[in-house]
Structure 1
Amino acid sequence: MRDRINQDVKNAMKSGEKARLTTLRLITAAIKDRELGVGGQPPTEVGDAEVVAILQKMVKQRRESIATYEKAGRNELADQEKAEIVILETYLPKQMDEAAMKSAVAALVAELGASGPKDMGRVMGALKERFAGQMDFGKASGVLKELLK
C-alpha cells in the first residue's frame, strides 16, 4: 500500500493535482510519524494494517472537522475536508453495508457461543481482528448489544 501511495505522490506531482498531492503528503507524513514514534507512541514498523488504521483515523478527524466547520459557517473549509476524505477513502478497504455487517456479527456471536453482555468484549475483539478496516465498529457495537440482550 505504501508503494501505491508513493507512486501516487509522484503522479500527482507530474499532473499538477495540488489538492491530491497535499493530501497524499499528509498521509506519508502520518505514516512516518507513526514509524518514528511521534506523539508518545513507540517507534514501530508500519505494515498495511497499520496504514489502514492511520487512514481511518485521518478520515475520522476530518469528519469531526467538517461538523465543526459547518457549525461555524466555514463551508469552504468543510468542502476542503470532504475532498480530502474522498482521496483518503480510495486507499481504504471497501466498507461492509449494514446487512453484511449484521450478518457477520450474528455469525461471529454464534461461532463464539456468546450469550450475554459479558461476552461483548470478546466478540468485539474478534470482530476487530477479522474485519479491520471493513466495518464501522461503532455501529457493530450497537448491533451486538441488540443481539446479546
Structure 2
Amino acid sequence: MISDTIQKQITDALKAKDETRLIALRMLSTALSYARIDKMSDLNEEEELTVVKKEAKKRKDAIEIYDKANQKERAEKERAELKILEEYLPKQMDDEQLSKIIDEVLSGMDDKSNMGRVIGEVMKKTRGQAEGKRVSELVKSKS
C-alpha cells in the first residue's frame, strides 16, 4: 500500500535531512489520513492513488498560478513536490498509445458527437495512465 511506503520514506527523508521530500511526503500522508477518516475505513490501493492524483493536480494548478504571477521560487518548490508525488503515480501513456485507445472507443460508438461520453470511456480504459486534460485535447483533435 502507498501509505506504508510513504511512512518509511518519511523516516528516510528525516534521516537524510531532505526537507523538500519530507514536506511533500508529510502533506501526502495527511491527505491520505483525511481520506481514510472521511471513508471511516482503510483505503484500498485505487483510492490511495486517487488521493495522490488529487494532490498532484493541486501542485500542477499551483505551478500554473505561480508562473502567471511570476513567482518563480514558489513555482519551483511546487515542481519539486510534484516530482516527488509523481513517483507514486502510474507511468503515463504516450500520445501514440492514447490515440489508439481513443480510436478504439470512437469506432465502437454510434454517437461520436457526445464528447463527455467518449472521454469517460477513454478514462476508464486508461485507468489513471492518462490525465483527463490530455485525453480531452486528443479527443477534440480527432473530432
Q: 1:80 to 1:47 in 2, by over 3 A?
A: same
Q: d(CA) in 2 for partners of 1:18 and 1:89?
A: 17
Q: d(CA) in 2 for partners of 1:82 and 1:32?
A: 23
Match of 2:109 in 1: 114
How far does residue 73 in structure 1 lie from its aligned partner after superposition? Answer: 2.4
Within the alignment, does 1:105 sit opposite 2:102 as a pair?
A: yes
Within the alignment, does 1:84 sit opposite 2:81 as a pair?
A: yes
Q: d(CA) in 1 for partners of 2:114 and 2:61?
A: 31
Within the alignment, does 1:139 sit opposite 2:140 as a pair?
A: no
Q: d(CA) in 2 for partners of 1:91 and 1:139?
A: 19
1:32 aligned partner, one-letter code: S
TM-score by length of 1: 0.82
Match of 2:70 in 1: 73
How far does residue 144 in structure 1 lie from its aligned partner after superposition? Answer: 3.1
Match of 2:19 in 1: 18
CA offsets 1:40-91 (integer angstroms, 9 cap, x no match): xx54532211222212211221122112222222211111001001101011
TM-score by length of 2: 0.85
What percent identity do the matched residue pairs reach?
Answer: 30
CA offsets 1:72-127 (integer angstroms, 9 cap, x no match): 222111110010011010111000011110011212333xx202236544443333
Match of 1:58 in 2: 55
Q: 1:131 to 1:62 in 2, by over 3 A?
A: same
Asked if structure 2 preserves the Cα contact closer than 8 Å seen for 1:34 and 1:44, the reply is no
2:79 aligned partner, one-letter code: K
Could you list the runs of 5+ residues in structure 2 that have no partner in the other structure? none
Q: d(CA) in 1 for partners of 2:133 and 2:71?
A: 28
Q: 1:122 to 1:68 in 2, by over 3 A?
A: closer
Within the alignment, does 1:128 sit opposite 2:123 as a pair?
A: yes
